[in-house]
């Protein structure tokens, strides 16, 4: 492992594809692989101390969460607590306190697990990501970042620089649920995050899920169906049918596909019923 003096030096090392360097920060996922004897790669660039990748900045249009910001940093940030409470809930449900103190938002994203806790919240808040390399900075919608299981729109030599959460003055209803074997320190069987703006009808809605597809998933067909609708039992039942068609859960050691489908539909109903009365 090598520790660069600054971000420019780190990017220069990562740009040398022949050298085979990979970045490492909190290391919470790498240590699991190491203990299991499955960590075959040995050339890591330690980016944990790079000040350019630490911190949370408030702008008028967005909150910028830099990649090495820890879950504990997110939990303690007053503006994020107020404007993006589902991300705070996700951070609180990620591992134990030791993991929250060391694990980073950037690491959670680029580990690219479909069962990760923060991605559904980031998707529901319409986050963007900034990627940096020796070629400069590239920005894209987080919804376009994951391409397949463990596949990302991350070019050789690029680092995740930051996550941007767009701010709004709209009155929103926030919902986040993680269903696991235990209430804490468990990998999710289903993770559901929803954000809705509603008056007499649904004006805007975003729904995101984890552990029910190869990647963290935006339920766009369900969202499109619900926009403009006045909620009723009939509308909710139809939305449950649509979301069931959008997900592709599997049977694994934690759960079954059948269970995940049923829970996803139940959580959607709970979310929608929490936004106002139905008839």
CA distances from 125 to 4, 42, 79, 236 (A): 33, 36, 14, 22
Give 225 or 23, the one with higher predicted confidence.
Answer: 225
Determine the pLDDT at residue 19.
Answer: 79
Last-in-domain residue among 136, 166, 196:
166
| pLDDT tops 50 at residue 59 | yes
**Same domain membership, residue 148 and residue 52:** yes
Three-state secondary-structure class, residue 181: coil
Determine the pLDDT at residue 180.
Answer: 86
CA distances from 251 to 123, 140, 211, 218, 255 (A): 24, 32, 11, 21, 6
Establish if 57 belongs to a structural domain: yes
**Same domain membership, residue 177 and residue 154:** no
> Phi, psi at residue 15, to the nearest 5°?
-75, -20
Establish if 2 belongs to a structural domain: no
Determine the pLDDT at residue 30.
Answer: 66
**Same domain membership, residue 228 and residue 151:** no
Last-in-domain residue among 166, 196, 211:
166
**Same domain membership, residue 183 and residue 158:** no
Determine the pLDDT at residue 57.
Answer: 98
Determine the pLDDT at residue 96.
Answer: 84
State percent of the chain over pLDDT 70. 91
Q: What is the mean pLDDT of residues 248-271?
A: 96
Determine the pLDDT at residue 181.
Answer: 76
**Same domain membership, residue 145 and residue 196:** no
**Tens-place pLDDT, residues 144-201:** 999 999 999 999 999 999 999 999 999 999 999 999 876 656 789 999 999 999 988 9
Is residue 21 very low, low, confident or very high in pLDDT (cuts 50, 70, 90)? confident
**Same domain membership, residue 177 and residue 84:** no
| Count: domains in the chain | 2
Determine the pLDDT at residue 219.
Answer: 98
Establish if 71 belongs to a structural domain: yes
| pLDDT tops 80 at residue 32 | no
**Same domain membership, residue 18 and residue 149:** yes
Which residue from 55, 28, 50, 47 is spatially nearest to 39, judged by alpha carbons? 28
Neighbours of 122 (CB within 10 A): 29
Establish if 84 belongs to a structural domain: yes
**Tens-place pLDDT, residues 85-121:** 999 999 999 888 988 998 899 999 999 999 999 999 9
**Same domain membership, residue 63 and residue 90:** yes
Domain of residue 36 covers 7-166
Determine the pLDDT at residue 184.
Answer: 59
Establish if 24 belongs to a structural domain: yes
Determine the pLDDT at residue 276.
Answer: 44
| pLDDT tops 60 at residue 130 | yes
Three-state secondary-structure class, residue 90: helix
Averaged confidence pLDDT in the chain: 91
**Tens-place pLDDT, residues 200-236:** 899 999 999 999 999 999 999 999 999 999 999 999 9
Establish if 155 belongs to a structural domain: yes
pTM: 0.92
**Same domain membership, residue 64 and residue 189:** no
Determine the pLDDT at residue 205.
Answer: 98
CATH code for the domain in which residue 120 is found? 3.30.465.10
**Same domain membership, residue 133 and residue 41:** yes
Last-in-domain residue among 116, 143, 166:
166
CATH code for the domain in which residue 232 is found? 3.30.390.50
């Amino acid at each position: 492992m090598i520790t660069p003096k600054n971000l420019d030096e780190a990017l220069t090392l990562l740009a040398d594809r022949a050298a085979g360097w990979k970045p490492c920060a909190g290391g919470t996922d790498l240590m699991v692989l190491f203990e299991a004897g499955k960590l075959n790669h040995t050339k890591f660039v330690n980016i944990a101390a790079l000040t350019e990748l630490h911190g949370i900045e408030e702008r008028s249009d967005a909150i910028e969460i830099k990649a090495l910001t820890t879950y504990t940093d997110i939990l303690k940030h007053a503006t994020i607590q107020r404007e993006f409470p589902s991300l705070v809930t996700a951070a609180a449900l990620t591992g134990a306190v030791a993991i929250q103190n060391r694990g980073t938002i950037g690491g959670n994203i680029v580990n690219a697990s479909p069962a990760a806790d923060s991605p559904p919240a980031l998707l529901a808040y319409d986050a963007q990501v900034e990627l940096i390399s020796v070629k400069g900075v590239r920005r894209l919608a987080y919804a376009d970042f994951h391409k397949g299981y463990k596949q990302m729109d991350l070019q050789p030599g690029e680092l995740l620089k930051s996550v941007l959460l767009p701010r709004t003055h709209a009155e929103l209803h926030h919902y986040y649920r993680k269903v696991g074997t235990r209430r804490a320190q468990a990998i999710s069987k289903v993770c559901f995050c929803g954000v809705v703006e509603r008056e007499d009808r649904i004006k805007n809605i975003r729904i995101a899920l984890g552990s029910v597809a190869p990647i963290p998933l935006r339920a766009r067909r369900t969202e499109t169906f619900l926009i403009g609708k006045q909620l009723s039992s009939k509308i909710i039942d139809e939305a449950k049918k649509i979301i069931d068609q959008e997900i592709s859960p599997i049977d694994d050691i934690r759960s079954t596909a059948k269970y995940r489908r049923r829970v996803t539909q139940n959580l959607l109903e709970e979310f929608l019923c929490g936004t106002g009365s139905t008839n």
